[in-house]
Structure 1
Amino acid sequence: MINKNPRPSSPTSTTPLLSETASTSATHGSSSAGSVGSPSSPRYNTVPRVPTFMQTSVPSRRSIIHAFLDMTMHMMFELVLPIVLYYALRTQFSPIISLVVAGIPPALVVVVKGVRDHKVDMMGLLMLLGFVASVLLALVESDPKLYLLRESAMTSAMGIMLVVTLFPLRWRHRILRPFMFYVARQIAVSGTVMLPPETVRLHWDWFWTNWLSFRAFFRGLTAIWGIGLLSEFLVRVVLIYTVDEVDDIMYYSNIYMFSVTLCLGTLTVASTLLYRHLYNQEQKRSKSTQRRMEIEEIIARADEENRLQKQLREQQ
């Protein structure tokens, strides 16, 4: 179960409790993710149980549900509010002006989160760039259908970005991982107060390196989200070329996007909770098996000592 590679000469200060396997895998992190299955990297079936001190890096049910509710609120704000604003403004302004104004709230959310949290949200940045492109497009082009197509182009760009992360591209000794892995890891970092963020990230690197089902889960989740976002682009293109009224295109395309996001969000939370349940069950079975083996080893050792003592008495 333990990697036979020698322990690093100076363990990191953030992971003083890491075993040989954990310290080797987690310290090298993403650079070792592509070498799973090599002699120096333990496979799934050789690492039956996650070290106890890493358990706090696994998100709790409460943090998972909280993340889902937070995502739902953002979805309501970023999808429902623009639709309400559009139809409220549509009675007084042209479609293109109504569409531009309806895109202001999501753009403001991106700016406020960036200033408040001092970090760049990749998907939020794409939304902000899309809003800027919308304003520029409104200045040079008055066709509302072209504007709607631009919105779908940004959604498809997000979908393509997710699909690209499924390929283990290497850059400067780092290997790209599925997008949903980074999202889930950030949830774990935010929901863990007992450990510093860097330690949680190292633990998640260890999970990725050593657990086959862990990698398969996030690859599948990322693929589903990527396909869902790309499907919105195809649906909107079909609507643009088959429906004449811009209001109807706006209504049906946003309803479809809302439905897709809600279904994918529900599926994500349900599958995450199920995976966490199966993970806990596997940990309990592994722990029980390990305890049984330890007891059997103690009994065998006691029998061996009794046998040796009996031989000594017979010799005397």
Structure 2
Amino acid sequence: MTSIQSSSSSSSSSLVQSQANTNIQFSIWHTFKRHIPRVFTTILVDVILPLIIYFVFQKYIKPVYALLIAGTPPFLMVIFKAISSRTFDALGFLVFIGFIISGVVAIITHNPIVLLLEKSLVTGIVSIIFAITLIPFHCCHHYCRLRPLAYYFYQDLIPTNREQIGLPENIFSNNQETIHEQYSEHENEVLIHKSSNKEIAQVYEWIYNNCSSFRISCYIITSTWSIGLLSEFLARLILILVHLSINKIVIYGNIILSSVTIICILITIICVTKERKQTLILIEQWKQEHLIIQ
């Protein structure tokens, strides 16, 4: 009897896995391609534009002031996303904080070593921010909740809606009903984009609360980038302390930064791929337990 039960349970679990694989096929490209314009805009405003502003302005003003000005576009993007779609622009926040703090420190200290550490100071600050987000923090119940920074990168760079992971239509029905009750038809058309962003946030909130694979992935990715960026900062600091020439410091520093970035990106891709496959299985199990009974 027990053997029959164990075989049935194992067959049911294998059935769930097969259903997860047959019903929903996860592909990073399939998930990512629909949001290429959004990701391109984020990278343009948060990364490329600040660098262009910095290198242009440093020819005419002091580098420390160029750092402060370069932090303006990502800062505006953080404010815009917070107001328009009530989402957190993690990448813009990191770039803004990195430029501002490094500029302020350079102004206060007037130390040329700080300017030599310019890039690594940014990565060092960012690594600390990554580490801080690993600390579970709750304030005002649901209104302020700190999550691993990778959680917000998921929302920005791999936006996923309900249909892509097979969640039922009515899982967020209460929120959608209140929206349709409060706004007219014309206003609802204007709010389509905002509703889409809100659904992405709701989906990731649901996944984080119900799928351990996603939570673990967020912590692993955040820890990986925190350790990687901190190691880059320490490596460049060691290069300066051993009194190498400026040219060697620049060359070795860029090699180390590129190597660390490539390694962290590869680990992130592996984590995301494995996490999505396991998360889809957990979602199928959740649907088996909660929806079929209904």
Rounded Cα–Cα distance in structure 1 between residues aligned with 2:131 and 2:30: 29
Percentage identity across paired residues of the two chains: 20
Rounded Cα–Cα distance in structure 1 between residues aligned with 2:94 and 2:214: 23
Rounded Cα–Cα distance in structure 1 between residues aligned with 2:93 and 2:197: 19
Question: Is 1:249 the counterpart of 2:217 in the alignment?
Answer: no
Rounded Cα–Cα distance in structure 2 between residues aligned with 1:206 and 1:113: 26
2:260 alignment partner AA: V
2:254 alignment partner AA: N
List aligned pairs for 1:197-212, cutoff 5 A.
197-212=197-212
Unaligned runs of 5+ in 1: 1-44, 298-316
The aligned counterpart of 2:101 is 130
- Give how far 1:127 is off: 2.5
The aligned counterpart of 1:235 is 235
The aligned counterpart of 1:61 is 29
The aligned counterpart of 1:110 is 74
Rounded Cα–Cα distance in structure 1 between residues aligned with 2:79 and 2:201: 23
Query: For the structure 1 residues 273 and 227, does the alpha-carbon distance in structure 2 shift closer, same or farther, using more than 3 Å as the test?
Result: same
Query: For the structure 1 residues 238 and 112, does the alpha-carbon distance in structure 2 shift closer, same or farther, using more than 3 Å as the test?
Result: same
The aligned counterpart of 2:261 is 261
1:175 alignment partner AA: R
The structure, 1 or 2, with the larger RCO (C-alpha pairs under 8 Å, 6+ apart) is: 1
1:149 to 117, 121, 130: 117
Query: For the structure 1 residues 80 and 224, does the alpha-carbon distance in structure 2 shift closer, same or farther, using more than 3 Å as the test?
Result: same
SS of the residue aligned with 1:170?
strand
SS of the residue aligned with 1:196?
helix
- Give how far 1:80 is off: 9.2
The aligned counterpart of 2:277 is 277
Rounded Cα–Cα distance in structure 1 between residues aligned with 2:104 and 2:125: 14
Question: Is 1:187 the counterpart of 2:157 in the alignment?
Answer: yes
1:110 alignment partner AA: P
Rounded Cα–Cα distance in structure 1 between residues aligned with 2:80 and 2:158: 20
Deviations 1:280-304 (A, max 9, x none): 45656887x78xxx7xx9xxxxxxx
Rounded Cα–Cα distance in structure 2 between residues aligned with 1:184 and 1:64: 11
Rounded Cα–Cα distance in structure 2 between residues aligned with 1:211 and 1:223: 19
Rounded Cα–Cα distance in structure 1 between residues aligned with 2:47 and 2:255: 12
Query: For the structure 1 residues 134 and 285, does the alpha-carbon distance in structure 2 shift closer, same or farther, using more than 3 Å as the test?
Result: closer
- Give how far 1:240 is off: 0.7
Unaligned runs of 5+ in 2: 1-12, 84-88, 163-191
CA root-mean-square deviation: 4.7
The aligned counterpart of 1:178 is 148
Rounded Cα–Cα distance in structure 2 between residues aligned with 1:103 and 1:191: 37
| 1:240–1:249 contact (8 Å) kept in structure 2 | yes
SS of the residue aligned with 1:175?
strand
Rounded Cα–Cα distance in structure 2 between residues aligned with 1:286 and 1:116: 36
| 2:208–2:214 contact (8 Å) kept in structure 1 | yes
Deviations 1:234-287 (A, max 9, x none): 111101111332222122222211221222123212321232234345656887
Query: For the structure 1 residues 243 and 74, does the alpha-carbon distance in structure 2 shift closer, same or farther, using more than 3 Å as the test?
Result: farther
Instruction: Report the structure number with the largest CA radius of gyration.
Output: 1
Deviates more, 1:170-179 or 1:159-168: 170-179
2:261 alignment partner AA: T
- Number of aligned residue pairs: give it: 229
